[in-house]
Amino acid sequence: MATLSWCAQIIVLLLPAVAVCVLGSIIVVRRSAARKGLKLPPGPPGLPIIGHLHLMGENPHRTLHKLSQRYGPLFFLRFGSVPVIVASSPQTARLILQTHDQIFSDRFPTTVDLHLNGSHSILNSHPDPYHTFVRQLCSTHLFSSKMVHHFGPISNQELAHLLSSILANSHTALPFPLRPLLYSTFTNIVSRMILGNKLVCQFNLLDLVLDWVHMMATFNLSDYIPCCRWLDLQGYAKQSKLLRSKIKTTFKKAIDQRRQDHAPGYDQPHDFLNTLLSTSLDNHRANIQITDDHIISILMNLFAAGIDTSALAIEWALMELLANPEKLSIIKAELCNVVGTTRFVQQSDVSCLPYLEAVIKETFRLHPVAPLLIPHYTIHPCQLLDFEIPSNTMAFVNVWAIGRDPMLWENASNFVPERFLGSNMDVHGRQYELLPFGSGRRVCPGLLLGLNSVQLVLANLLHCFDWENVGELEFSEKYDIVLQPLKPLTTLAKANLPLHVIEAQLYEAS
């Protein structure tokens, strides 16, 4: 969601031209609801036409948190003509994500999503047989425990490349930004798992991914004010069409090359692209068709979900540990005791590293990568608590606010991994106090793969190197669907393990 403070200014400028069209919908949600006798949740007064768009600002998760402190854990807003509810407690989150999961299982249709993904994406497609089938396909052939284990060597090789790059930086004794190295690592991991190789293309793949994430976060005024839908006021329709063209060029080249290199009768590679292409040839599934456009949208979803989120989670965790050196000392001592000083951390070690797992859970609590999840959308009207929710309502679950609620968490604003030691609370969507991956039928299908990747990479960064921050740590946030540090972490690294051990491990992994 981009900055919204200028939205009201745009409407004011356009008001003379669109006043006649808009006057009929000024009253929109609250009065129409009143005519139907609906009892809506409480909320602040809105403005004509734009409703509450002017309130949102650059960090909507913080704005919505402040509103929840005044209006309660379930409150009502209006974005233009679209009714909106916001859940800010475990109880109200459970109502949306579990109790009424089926009703809230749709996604709000946006112009950007239509032009970028059509109706083909995993993220935003309607809860129809196609959506169910594609999620099952991903769960079986990409995200299952068996496939995570199968792709383990790829993760280890790319991790070795990351550690090698950091080692080279450590020799220079110069500070360096960590985020580009993490982005490169996860781009290569995802590309090799899905496409079988590191994708080389006309357009930089990482740039496409980051542009896709940014475009999906844009707040298109035309989506919320019906009379403006034929106008491309902010140019987002044009931009998303151009980006889709670049994405299509990139992945269509990979698809065509695969078909050319692996004709029928040849051994097929065990990557997800081959699974998708094989599925597209199966015409026995009634009403479910997988075309190249479907495949391109699915691939883009997987790249976007697998790169940005993992890299940013690791950056947030390392920032918190640098800001809390006593916690950093504890986790490094745990790594030394469990793993020793003669090898890298393996995935099998993680279950023996409870403080590492606690650090990651605490990072997800304070810095959930998707602080508002992806907004849900009602298919039918329903009742939540004592309130009546109309159909076609957007629903945000503010997991950022839940993670910082002092009624749920002692010292809620502080980084205290110890709160999770001996706790049975996990991040799989079963406990609504901690929901970094969502819950219910829209829970992130790549939860296991993403969590394993974050654990393994963070553990090795901490085990192999000593880290020193350069300058003052800055915890200001930039909201772009995903929540990232506004100022990327710049740091110094120094080898912690003996140099010959690191070099030998890198040689073995290469």
Binding residues for heme: 444
Paired sense of beta strands 82-87 and 394-397, if any: parallel
Q: Measured between alpha carbons, how far is 356 from 451 in angstroms, rounded to an integer?
A: 12
Q: How far apart are the first and last CA of the chain?
A: 41
Q: Are 193 and 97 in contact (CB under 8 A)?
A: no
Q: Nearest 5 degrees, angle CA 455-CA 458-CA 464? A: 130
Residue 436 C-alpha from the chain's centroid? 9
User: Of 103, 176, 161, whose CA–CA distance to 441 is shortest?
Assistant: 103
Give the whole-angstrom CA distance, residue 231 versus residue 236. 10
Quote the crossing angle between the two packed helices 179-195 and 152-172, to the nearest 10°.
160
Residues of 105-125 as b/e, b for ≥16 C-beta within 10 angstroms? bbbbebbbbbbbbebbbbbbb
Output the known binding site: 444
Give the number of residues written for the chain.
510
Rounded Cα distance between 234 and 365, Å, is 34
**Count of other CB atoms within 10 angstroms of residue 466:** 13
Residue 61 phi/psi, 5-degree rounding, is -65, -35
Which of 327, 284, 324, 343 lies closest to 464, judged by CA? Answer: 343
Q: What six digits make up the tokens of 468? A: 């020193």
- Measured CA distances, 293 to 252, 270, 437 (Å): 9, 22, 27
Radius of gyration of the chain (CA): 24
Q: Which two tokens stand for residue 312?
A: 């940013």
Task: Name the 3-class secondary structure at 428.
Answer: coil
